[in-house]
Structure 1
Amino acid sequence: MAMPRITVAGWLRVVWRGMILGGVTYGCLVLLLLLRVVERPLFGMQRPWTPWITQFVCRMAFVILRMPLVVRGQVMRQRGAVVANHASWLDIFALNAAQRGYFVAKSEVERWAAIGWLARATGTVFIARKGSEAKRQQQVFEARLRAGHHLMFFPEGTSTDAIRVLPFKSTLFAAFWSHGLEEVMWIQPVTIAYRAPEGRDARFYGWWGDMEFAEHLIMVLAEKRQGWVEVVFHEPVPVDAFPDRKALAAHCEAEVRKGLEGRL
């Protein structure tokens, strides 16, 4: 997708929106870290306070961008995880704005400048692609889930062009079938749908392939009249209602795909 030409006014929007967004994000990050100093010894893995700061920052991001966020459906109250399609770096803001949870991300993200630090501070669970790490990662998942954390996954394994859903990989779902977790765990499929700004390519908000993050960020910040994003929470399902992880992954993929097709 060709990046649109940015005007002088567009560059001014990049500067002031970027400064405000960066100030809110990292200013609140300092507050979060200070609060975590008290929260951690009192509550351990549970985080009753700091997720509210993360949610505030993510909601403010859409206010700063002047990009409407529409949330449909109900966030599940049961213990479990959320699985969603992955189209853009904006997905992280959208999901965190709509609910309070913790992302599961590939281990490489932990080493990304600025973003890795932010992800660690907000409680992201990092996973390695090495088979030798599978057992340890499963233990981490179990501990977080038993602590009442809602984990958020992108089962496609990569981001897309925002107008399609890739097949869901069932590997991460395996953590839900261990030590009796399947008897208490619920999974909620979530569709994230973007409407591009008027006159722009339908894939405008999609960030995929070899796109540079900085270039895509600038393009979004520069846009005068934004489109919108819709987060749709589908009905949660109990893990033990499915015979195995592949069946559960297939159900979630079908729900998310149906939700996206209904909005395109």
Structure 2
Amino acid sequence: MALDATAPTGDGGGGGEAEAIRPLLLSGEEAEELDATYAPYARRDAYGTMGRGRLSAPQQALLALRCILLVPLRFVAGMLVLLAYYVVCRVCTLSVDGLAEGRLRLEGWRRVVVARSGCALARAMLFVFGFYWIRETDRSSPNAEDVHQGHSKEMERPGAIVSNHVSYVDILYHMSVSFPSFVAKESVSRLPLVGLISKCLGCIFVQRESKTSDSKGVSGAVTERVQEVCQYKNSPMMLLFPEGTTTNGDYLLPFRTGAFLGSAPVQPVILRYPYRMFSPAWDSMDGARHVFLLLCQFVNYIEVVHLPVYYPSEQEKEDPKLYANNVRKLIATEGNLILSNLGLAEKRVYHAALNGKSRAIHQKDD
């Protein structure tokens, strides 16, 4: 089943500042060839690749007006929301063990306050970014024939939410609905404001490059947490983006198996961002410019489809790659997404080429 094509679209959005709207380092033909080769990361909105497309005089005037009226107000409002949640987390973690080590486990009223205020303030942050309405379709109640045989009436709780990854806005949406925990680099736990918040979210902090005995690695830590979620109702559900990076929203990259190694059921969710001029997808654009353009957009929209919990078969439990591929095909079919074999490594090559650097870069995948 496809998403409803009649969903509302934004009324147009910002572009870049005058100094940011500079020509690409590649010729037009070279840029088009790259966009075709690396289609999942190519930006198709009115502002072009990397958000450096040329704007007409009326568009520049409208951008300037939005910059003056919207950006300062939304920036201040966003900071107030962030500070408010930091204060809530600070109060709820007073005299709690494990805070310094990042192994925080909130229970009772502390967990309730942190979770409920987190959902509300995440929705407030979406409102600040112009996501006033969210169109949701709930298909999360499966038919009896859709569930593998052998499951009792008290079905096993899904261990993770698996979602396609389009933008950092994805995280805000999921926080506002289910308040899950995430996988984050260990350095995030030390950031001002965000560090404490990430600990209260129950994030898994990993050293991605470490292979020592003190580090279980990303897959090991995720598998352990997913299994814990299935066993304990009070454990925050994991949110995982199996693609490992963001796309322009029209494609679905190969899934990594980390979310599926625990053989636990998963909750698939599909996110789409309808737009008219500026796409909220974070593909080929740098972060600062993307945030600026998003703040300049009067209205943004999200379309969300919640699919039924996917219970793996015995064969899928024994073969995580098969499990991951089957869930990927389901999400692609239900979301009208195009399957692609590209990954994070190719995205890095694409970005390097857009910036005039050699295409022959060799960086280890995160």
How does the TM-score come out when normalised to structure 2? 0.59
Determine whether 1:216 maps to 2:303. Answer: no
Contact 1:33–1:121 under 8 Å retained in 2: no
Instruction: From the superposition, tell whether residues 230 and 98 of structure 1 become closer, same or farther in structure 2 (CA, over 3 Å).
Output: farther
In the alignment, is residue 190 of structure 1 matched against residue 273 of structure 2? Answer: no
CA apart distance, 1:86: 0.7
- Alignment partners' CA distance in 2, 1:20 and 1:165: 34
Amino acid at match of 1:229: I
Match of 1:179 in 2: none
1:45, 1:117 → 2: CA distance?
Answer: 13
Partner in structure 2 of residue 134 of structure 1: 216
Structural mapping, 1:106-121, within 5 Å: 106-107=185-186, 109-110=188-189, 115-121=194-200
* Larger proportion of helix: 1
Structure-2 change in CA distance of 1:88 and 1:139 (3 Å): same
**Is 2:119 the counterpart of 1:62?**
no
Task: List per-residue Cα deviations over 1:158-186 (Å, max 9, x = no partner).
Answer: 11122211111113422x1xxxxx4xx32
Residue identity (%): 20
Which residue in the other structure is 1:158 paired with?
245
Instruction: Find the partner of 2:300 among 212, 227, 239.
Output: 227
Task: Summarize deviations over 1:169-204 as a string: whole Å, max 9, x none.
Answer: 113422x1xxxxx4xx321111111101x3x15xx1
Question: In structure 2, what is the equivalent of residue 97 of structure 1?
Answer: 176
Give the Å deviation of 1:8: 3.2
In structure 2, the CA distance between the partners of 1:103 and 1:66, relative to structure 1 (3 Å rule), is: same
Please say if residues 157 and 229 of structure 2, whose CA atoms lie closer than 8 Å, have aligned partners that are also in contact: no
Q: Distance in 2 between the 1:116 and 1:195 partners?
A: 32
Q: Which residue number in structure 2 is paired with residue 87 of structure 1?
A: 166
Q: Distance in 2 between matches of 1:253 and 1:111?
A: 34
SS where residue 255 of structure 2 aligns?
A: coil
- SS at 1:195's partner residue? coil
Native 8 Å contact 2:86 2:193 kept in 1 = no
How far apart, CA to CA, are the structure 2 residues paired with 1:69 and 1:93? 12
Counterpart among 32, 35, 49 of residue 113 in structure 2: 49
**Superposition deviation, residue 139 in structure 1:** 4.0
CA distance in 2, matches of 1:172, 1:186: 10
- Pair 1:206 & 2:244 matched: no
Structure with bigger gyration radius? 2
Are the structure 2 counterparts of residues 40 and 240 from structure 1 closer, same or farther at C-alpha, using a change threshold of 3 Å? farther
SS at structure 1 position matched to 2:304: strand
Q: Normalized per residue, which structure has more strand?
A: 1
Conserved? CA contact 1:107–1:127, under 8 Å: yes
Return the letter of the residue paired with 1:36. T
Is it true that 1:71 corresponds to 2:150 in the alignment? no
1: distance between equivalents of 2:326 and 2:171?
23
| SS of equivalent residue, structure 1 residue 24 | helix
Q: Residues 159 and 226 of structure 2 are in contact (CA less than 8 Å); yes or no, is this contact kept in structure 1?
A: no
Asked whether 1:251 is paired with 2:326, we answer yes
Give per-residue Cα distances to partners, 1:86-122, cap 9 Å, x unaligned. Answer: 1111001111122221122344544666544542342
**170 and 120 in structure 1: CA distance in 2 versus 1, 3 angstrom threshold:** same
1:23 alignment counterpart: 80
The answer on whether the counterparts of 2:106 and 2:200 sit within 8 Å (CA) in structure 1 is no
One-letter code of the match for 1:17? R
Instruction: Return the alpha-carbon distance in structure 2 between the equivalents of residues 38 and 71 of structure 1.
Output: 39
Whole-angstrom distance in 1 between the partners of 2:174 and 2:65: 32
Taking structure 1 as the reference length, the TM-score comes to: 0.80
Structural RMSD (CA): 3.1
Residue of structure 2 in register with 1:169 after alignment: 256
Q: Which letter maps to 1:19? A: V
Distance in structure 2 (CA, Å) of the matches to 1:104 and 1:145: 17
Quick check: 1:89–1:207 contact (8 Å CA) kept in 2?
yes
Displacement of 1:58 after TM fit?
A: 1.4
